[in-house]
Amino acid sequence: MKHNEWRYSIKAGFKSLGRHPLLSMAAITTLVLMLFLTSAFVAFSLNANHLSKIASQQPPIEISMSLSAEQADLDLIENYLIDSELVQMYEMRTPLENYEQFKNELGKEELWKGFDYETYIPHTINVRLNDPATGDEFKREVENLPAVHEVMMESHLMAFLDDVKQGTSRVGIIVFIILTLIATVVMANTVRIAALSRSREINIMKYIGATNKYIRIPFIVEGATIGMVGALLASLFASLLYNELVKKFSPDSLGSMTLGASRYALLPTGRITLILFLLNLLVGVTLCTVISAVSVRKYAKV
């Protein structure tokens, strides 16, 4: 196609949006709803993964050594923790450190006079894992090491956090598929009506030798424009809503009584906005362009 033919086809595509404004609005509205809900699931899923990762590390797994554990036993388990790919970090505490912590937490230091902590308080190790789903595997491996008395972990919490991440992904995929089907039907009807309204014009162009590409491009431009507008609006609405949620649940708004709230803050708005914008633009433009290209081939019979 020549340059002026491309220019005319693209111009005709933009004009076509104004021929059926209500239909175009219906297509854009459906697409905005689809991408907005998809954005909500994406934002929720990203924050669920972020928060579950932090939460899974907050109540650390505590390894309690036997009272008879020797330095060789401590060195062995420390070497295991250093080499293990499951471990993010660990902290080994001596009987004296545990004793001082008990005194500080319970108070009334006079009750502890003459207490032989070396006889009753063991070495302990606090461990944080990279992935909460590996908690059971880690526990089995550690319990097989010598001089390990007990491995205490919040297994139910870790399993719940892992289920939340997987469940969010599944629901998001199902909702995305359903909304995509709805958007496909609406876009196909939009192209169908546009093609029928221009059937006489299309037939004339065929008779004078217009190529199939020349006839299809206006419909494809129309679909791509609807996809871009829908993506921009959905990203805008989703970002505004997310920004309000970030403000509402920020550590400052929750108050100073929330211990460690900053660790559980939602992901920053700028990061989420960029991800949603790129995702919506890719999905919206690609989906509408493909549907338009396929539908015009059927309804315009080119």
pLDDT given at position 25? 82
Among the ranges given (47-56, 91-100, 280-289), the one the predictor scored with the smallest mean pLDDT: 47-56
pLDDT given at position 133? 72
Indicate whether 236 pLDDT > 90: yes
Residue 207 pLDDT class (50, 70, 90 cuts): confident
Indicate whether 70 pLDDT > 70: yes
Q: Note the pLDDT tens digit of each residue in 170-193.
A: 777 787 788 778 777 777 776 677
Indicate whether 56 pLDDT > 60: no
Domains belonging to the chain, first-starting first, are 3-55+159-299 (no CATH), 60-153 (3.30.70.3040)
Among the ranges given (35-44, 48-57, 272-281), the one the predictor scored with the smallest mean pLDDT: 48-57
Indicate whether 1 pLDDT > 70: no
Residue of higher predicted confidence among 233 and 158: 233
Report the chain's mean pLDDT, rounded to a whole number.
Answer: 77
Q: Note the pLDDT tens digit of each residue in 151-160.
A: 887 655 556 6
pLDDT given at position 30? 82
Query: For 62-70, what is the mean pLDDT?
Result: 89
Q: Residue 156: how many CB atoms within 10 A of its CB?
A: 8
The share of the chain scoring above pLDDT 90, in percent, equals 17
Query: For 85-101, what is the mean pLDDT?
Result: 87
Q: Note the pLDDT tens digit of each residue in 111-140.
A: 677 777 778 889 999 888 887 678 888 888
Query: For 191-208, what is the mean pLDDT?
Result: 70
Q: Note the pLDDT tens digit of each residue in 210-232.
A: 677 777 777 788 888 888 999 99
Rank 105-109, 128-132, 257-261 by mean pLDDT and report only the highest.
128-132
